[in-house]
Chain A
Amino acid sequence: MTLSFAPLTPTIAAEVSSIDLTRPLTPEQVRAIDDGMDRYGVLVFHDQRFDDETQLAFSRNFGELEVSSGAEMSKPEEMRLKMEMADISNLDPNNRLRAADDRKRLGALGNRLWHSDASFRAVPAKYSLLSARIVPPKGGNTEFADMRAAYDALDDATKAQVENLVTEHSNAFSREIIGFERQDYGPENQDKLRPVRHRLVRYDPHTGRKSLYLSAHIGGIIGWPIPEARAFIRDLMEHATQPEFVYAHAWKPWDLVIWDNRTTMHRARRYNDLTDVRDMRRSTIRGDGVTVEQVQQAA
């Protein structure tokens, strides 16, 4: 059966119908999804009744799975799901709602800032695949912003200015924005907060398009004073997340949304997380390589 793509905005996101992703796919089907990702950046599939095993099996069609950074920074007894499955929920390991002052809850509030998954890794994420198992009655949308359209809309002077900029990303920077302290990650995780470098403008030889590689994890621009870098990145973020570049996804149970972290940013929106359950499971595909050479930093 042929997949059909219905665009959800003029530039980003499409809804895909006529496919059951929980069953093994043919190479043609995988290629059709990859092509759709190149074209739209975000694909929405409804009524995909995944369990964790079938979600991981489906995800492997697109590359090597990444271990979730949340899992990587947790003790085994703190985990609800397996290592490859990022737990995007407000539940603790016993499936109870997290308390207001739960450290994991406060750290996860950083997901309400526009970001690209795992941009704090030297080899950052390619696709993220998010499956909705339980959704709250109100709020909790995920929004996606088109970083290719945002790049295209820059004026020539700004394009020239950003072309060769290299930025520094760390999970600590995005959390610092909301006042979640670096030490709250625990002493055992400090090395995972070391900044990595990325190009601000990425080029995809496959599609021939450039995109802005923005993320809340950015804390500096190489060669720039910090305040100037942060003010500039804020302006770029504002430009890149204007309504015309954004698709807001209102979740239904069993939706699966795939996005390309190389060409989109996303964020979660507020919901009443102290009383309503939101259980989403994310699998993540590792990217192809570094965007710029890394620099060994003195310890």
Chain B
Amino acid sequence: MTINIRPVQPGFVGEVTGIDICQPLSAADVAAIERGMDEFAVLTFPKQPLTDDQQVVFSANFGELEIPLAAQMAAPETRRFQKLELGDISNFAVGSTEVLRARDDKKRMYALANRLWHSDASFRAVGAGYTLLHSRINPSKGGNTEFADMRAAYDALDSATKALVDDMIVEHSIVYSREQIGFTVEGDSADLKPVKHRLVVTHPVTGRKSLYLSSHIGSIVGWLIPEARAFLRDLTEHATQRQFVYSHPWEVNDLVMWDNRTVMHRATRFDDLKEKRDLRRTSIKGVGLAVDHVPVAQAAE
């Protein structure tokens, strides 16, 4: 079998065939996928019936796995998976794969913010690099995941805006994204405190600049809050224009992998009170990202 990548959206999304990712990969295969990620930023792998364990093994080819904040903050008895590295992207009630979350379930409210454009774990000092999402059950309608190319979005800025954003430092927190839809994140975990990132990051391999935007951003260092938020909204609108976006309609056993350093994504609506949707997420800790570029004095504030 030879690995083959077919452009779905040239320069942004590629479909990978000719490889069985349920099996251990050769170093050459891993390198080919990484090259594909650098070239495209989003790769889809159709018809890969991964088990949870196989997804974790496949993901570990690309770096150290991250523990999702939701799993970390959840009481052990409310966690769906024993493996902490496995993110539960489903609408199941605690302890069930039949009962759906109730309309006012707090986990449901928390997850609704995934419908805002974001970059995974950008609220951490070291945000996610790759995220890998595997589909098990899909609703009959809706529930796509959409991806926006932050390199193309950066390239398309006019030179005045590029100059304005190039050295901008912004603050990210999970609290901000939830606040936008009127949900208050409770707890005093250190993970809720804002972290600083550069708004423009340079990819460690390709050297391309991209906008490191995310709904987790609540302010710009040195700016008044209302001005910062109005500006960030404009920028997000620019960066998620149709020409930068790919919408993925899920098939069971699709695995989609994207680079959070160069891509924002969001879930789209489906009838989550009536239909099941079950995906499993693994994420790789980002390297060469953002915080490394923040001047030490500011990062330490």
Contact = CB atoms under 8 A, between A and B. Distances in A.
B269 A232 contact: yes
A224 B116 CA distance: 19
- Dominant secondary structure at the A interface: helix
Interface in B216-245: 218-219, 224-231, 233-234
Interface string A210-254: 000000000110000111111110110000000000000000000
Given A234-B116, A235-B115, A227 B183 contact: yes
Contact of A179 (B104, B183, B229): B229
B181 A227 contact: yes
B226 A179 contact: yes
Contacts of A109: 226-227, 230
Interface string A160-191: 00000000000000010111100000000000
Contacts of B182: 219-220, 226-227, 229-230
Contacts, number: 72
Given A230-B182, A234-B116, A177 B229 contact: yes
A231 B181 contact: yes
A28 interface: no
A231 B233 contact: no
Interface string B259-300: 000000000110000000000000000000000000000000
Contacts of B268: 235
A228 B103 contact: yes
Contacts of B112: 227-228, 231
Nearest to B111: A227
Output the residue of A227, A235, A269 with the most chain B CB within 10 A: A227
Contacts of B116: 231, 234
A255 B279 CA distance: 54
Given A112-B230, A234-B115, A235-B115, A178 B225 contact: yes
A101 interface: yes
A106 interface: yes
A28 to B, nearest CB: 42
B21 interface: no
B113 interface: yes
Contact of B226 (A106, A227, A229): A106
A225 B229 contact: no
B109 interface: yes
Contacts of B178: 227
A235 B227 contact: no
Nearest to B231: A270
B104 A225 contact: yes
A113 B116 CA distance: 16
A232 B225 CA distance: 25
Nearest to A112: B230
A299 interface: no
A258 to B, nearest CB: 26
A295 interface: no
A178 B112 CA distance: 20
B271 to A, nearest CB: 9
A231 B180 CA distance: 9
A117 to B, nearest CB: 18
Contacts of A1: none
A270 B230 CA distance: 9
Nearest to A101: B224
Interface string A87-102: 0000000000000110
Interface in B86-118: 103-104, 109, 112-113, 115-116
Interface of A: 100-101, 106-107, 109-110, 112-113, 175, 177-180, 219-220, 225-232, 234-235, 269-270
Given A113-B230, A231-B116, A269-B234, 6 more contacts: A100-B224, A178-B226, A179-B225, A226-B183, A227-B182, A230-B180
